[in-house]
């Protein structure tokens, strides 16, 4: 075929041909170490359904228990744009979380994350440890800059996802696969038994190759909470006020009174984004709460600054988008009067709400090369996306 086909059916047919050849190569490589391998193909739909997600998780666990290494890839023969993961970095992070992996290695064409683009700036310094990934992500996603698909930006997103699940994430150079073993040996140095005390004494480990390590979250998001956050595709957005955000952080459910607006079209039991927004009054607020010519809603509803909103998590809802639009801002006791029925006093039960680590008060936890994790004074440097542009594509 002289050039890459444009039609989806042709692309997927070629993917089907290539998958068998790719697995043949993997099988041949691992055969040198007498290591059996297995192929597992996933699509977004495979994890969007809770039972399928658990089935995939169990399949991975059983494969590993057999001493077989699963080689996971996206099922390009079936996936369409609406149900694709988007990139292998995201797929690898989700897979790492599903198996509760200790480490996720993201291999790229540079040896580490830098404070500047090392291809443009001679004084660029590598970043060895990232312990404030949310702050780093805020810098990377600053306005007016962009990174190519599959570049360093997607790896930082994947690192955020994996570390939130408790997996240490490491970026290192793909052309040097031996880096993986060297880094692991540095983090877990060999030990010898002290003849007098009988205790294990760590031996000095050689300096590891250049890499960047993202430290795992203090309180990992696992199981159902992780699935809600990263397994389900959101179908819309519910905007909530600060009071509702605080209630969710304190393990309460989402009540309609804390909802200020809704976007998108979604049905019951579908996932939505939860975005916190601030409100400002329009005109003068009536002290009695009655509407007037300056404030038709009587001070009960105020203008929402959506552009400043912050996504704090995801939720599986009890009401559709049209129902939420009708009951937003109301007390739960008013739901029946407005809708004619009340399936629940909550728009989302707390067990169906999953908050991002930064929204739920979870902090990153530093990790020492071996032994218990202890605090560190090392800070994450400021990195702009402009500095990173072109580093890895």
Q: Report residue 224's pLDDT band, with 50, 70 and 90 as the boundaries.
A: very high
* Position 369 pLDDT exceeds 60: no
Beta bridge partners, 202, equal: 191
Say what the pLDDT of residue 281 is: 56
Say what the pLDDT of residue 357 is: 77
Percent of the chain past pLDDT 70, that is, above it, reads 77
Looking up tokens 């059996």 gives 36
Say what the pLDDT of residue 84 is: 57
- CA proximity to 109, closest of 178, 173, 180, 179: 173
Q: Report residue 359's pLDDT band, with 50, 70 and 90 as the boundaries.
A: low
Say what the pLDDT of residue 122 is: 86
* Position 79 pLDDT exceeds 70: no
The whole-chain average pLDDT of the chain stands at: 80
* Alpha carbons 342 and 89: distance in angstroms, whole number: 42
- CA proximity to 163, closest of 106, 241, 237, 85: 106
pLDDT tens readout for residues 145-172: 333 334 788 899 899 999 999 999 999 9
* Alpha carbons 67 and 58: distance in angstroms, whole number: 15
Looking up tokens 């199981």 gives 223
* Alpha carbons 81 and 67: distance in angstroms, whole number: 34
- Is the model more confident about 146 or about 69? 69
Q: Report residue 74's pLDDT band, with 50, 70 and 90 as the boundaries.
A: confident
Q: Count Cβ atoms within 10 A of the Cβ of residue 134 and give its class: 0-12 exposed, 13-18 middle, 19 or more buried.
A: middle
Given a contact cutoff of 8 angstroms between Cβ atoms, the answer to whether 348 and 317 are in contact is yes
Say what the pLDDT of residue 257 is: 95
| Segment among 16-20, 116-120, 357-361 with least mean pLDDT | 357-361
Average pLDDT for residues 116-120, to the nearest whole number? 79
Given a contact cutoff of 8 angstroms between Cβ atoms, the answer to whether 85 and 56 are in contact is no
| Segment among 90-104, 186-200, 360-374 with least mean pLDDT | 360-374
- Is the model more confident about 183 or about 132? 183
* Alpha carbons 67 and 62: distance in angstroms, whole number: 9
Ordered domains of the chain (ranges, CATH) = 8-221 (3.40.1160.10), 234-355 (2.30.130.10)
* Alpha carbons 9 and 20: distance in angstroms, whole number: 18
Angle, CA of 27, 28 and 30, to the nearest 5°: 65
* Alpha carbons 236 and 272: distance in angstroms, whole number: 5
* Alpha carbons 221 and 208: distance in angstroms, whole number: 29
Q: Report residue 306's pLDDT band, with 50, 70 and 90 as the boundaries.
A: low
Helices within the chain (DSSP H only): 8-31, 44-48, 50-65, 88-98, 133-140, 152-164, 178-187, 223-226, 242-249, 321-327, 335-339, 385-388
CB neighbour list of residue 40: distance below 8 Å, 6 or more residues apart: 56, 59, 60, 63, 70, 71, 72, 73
* Position 385 pLDDT exceeds 70: no
Is this model's pTM higher than 0.75 or not? no
**Helical pair 88-98 and 50-65, crossing angle rounded to 10 deg:** 80
| Segment among 167-181, 193-207, 347-361 with least mean pLDDT | 193-207
Say what the pLDDT of residue 72 is: 94
* Alpha carbons 106 and 170: distance in angstroms, whole number: 6
Average pLDDT for residues 230-244, to the nearest whole number? 93
- Is the model more confident about 318 or about 384? 318
For residue 40, how many other CB atoms are within 10 A of its CB?
A: 15
Say what the pLDDT of residue 352 is: 96
**Checking DSSP bridges between strand 271-276 and strand 259-264, what pairing results, if any?**
unpaired
* Position 321 pLDDT exceeds 60: yes
What the block records as the tokens of 182 is: 């060297």
* Alpha carbons 131 and 380: distance in angstroms, whole number: 6
* Alpha carbons 389 and 384: distance in angstroms, whole number: 9
- Is the model more confident about 55 or about 7? 55
Average pLDDT for residues 45-73, to the nearest whole number? 93
* Position 364 pLDDT exceeds 70: no
Q: Report residue 214's pLDDT band, with 50, 70 and 90 as the boundaries.
A: very high
| Segment among 95-99, 118-122, 313-317, 357-361 with least mean pLDDT | 357-361
Which of 274-283, 321-330, 352-361 has the highest average model confidence (pLDDT)?
Answer: 321-330
What is the Rg, in whole angstroms, of the alpha carbon atoms belonging to the chain? 25
Say what the pLDDT of residue 376 is: 39
């Amino acid at each position: 075929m002289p050039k890459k086909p444009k039609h989806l059916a042709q692309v997927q047919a070629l993917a089907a041909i290539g998958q068998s050849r790719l697995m043949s190569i993997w099988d041949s490589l691992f055969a040198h170490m007498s290591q059996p391998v297995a192929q597992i193909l996933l699509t977004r739909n495979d994890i969007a359904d809770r039972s399928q997600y658990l089935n995939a998780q169990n399949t991975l666990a059983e494969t590993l228990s057999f001493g077989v290494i699963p080689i996971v890839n996206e099922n390009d023969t079936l996936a369409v744009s609406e149900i694709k993961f988007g990139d292998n970095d995201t797929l690898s992070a989700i897979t790492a979380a599903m198996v509760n992996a200790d480490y996720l290695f993201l291999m790229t064409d540079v040896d580490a994350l830098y404070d500047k683009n090392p291809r443009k700036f001679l004084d660029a310094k590598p970043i060895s440890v990232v312990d404030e990934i949310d702050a780093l992500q805020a810098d990377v996603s600053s306005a007016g800059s962009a990174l190519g698909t599959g570049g360093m930006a997607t790896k930082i997103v994947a690192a955020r996802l994996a570390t939130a699940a408790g997996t240490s994430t490491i970026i290192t150079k793909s052309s040097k696969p031996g880096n993986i073993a060297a880094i692991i040996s540095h983090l877990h140095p060999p030990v010898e038994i002290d003849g007098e005390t009988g205790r294990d004494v760590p031996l000095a480990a050689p300096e590891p190759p250049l890499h960047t390590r993202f430290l795992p979250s203090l309180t990992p998001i696992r199981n159902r909470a992780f699935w809600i956050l990263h397994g389900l595709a959101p179908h819309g957005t519910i905007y909530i006020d600060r009071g509702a955000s605080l209630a969710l952080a304190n393990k309460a459910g989402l009540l309609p009174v804390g909802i200020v607006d809704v976007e998108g079209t979604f049905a019951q039991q579908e996932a939505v984004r939860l975005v916190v927004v601030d409100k400002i009054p329009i005109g003068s607020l009536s002290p009695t709460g009655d509407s007037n010519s300056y404030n038709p809603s009587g001070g009960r509803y105020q203008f929402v600054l959506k552009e400043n909103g912050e996504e704090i998590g995801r939720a599986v809802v009890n009401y559709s988008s049209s129902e939420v639009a009708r009951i937003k801002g109301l007390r739960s006791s008013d739901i029946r009067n407005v809708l004619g029925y009340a399936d629940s006093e909550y728009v989302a039960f707390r067990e169906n709400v999953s908050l991002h680590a930064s929204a739920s008060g979870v902090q990153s936890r530093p990790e020492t090369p071996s032994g218990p994790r202890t605090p560190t004074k090392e800070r994450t440097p400021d990195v702009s996306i402009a500095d990173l542009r072109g580093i890895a594509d």
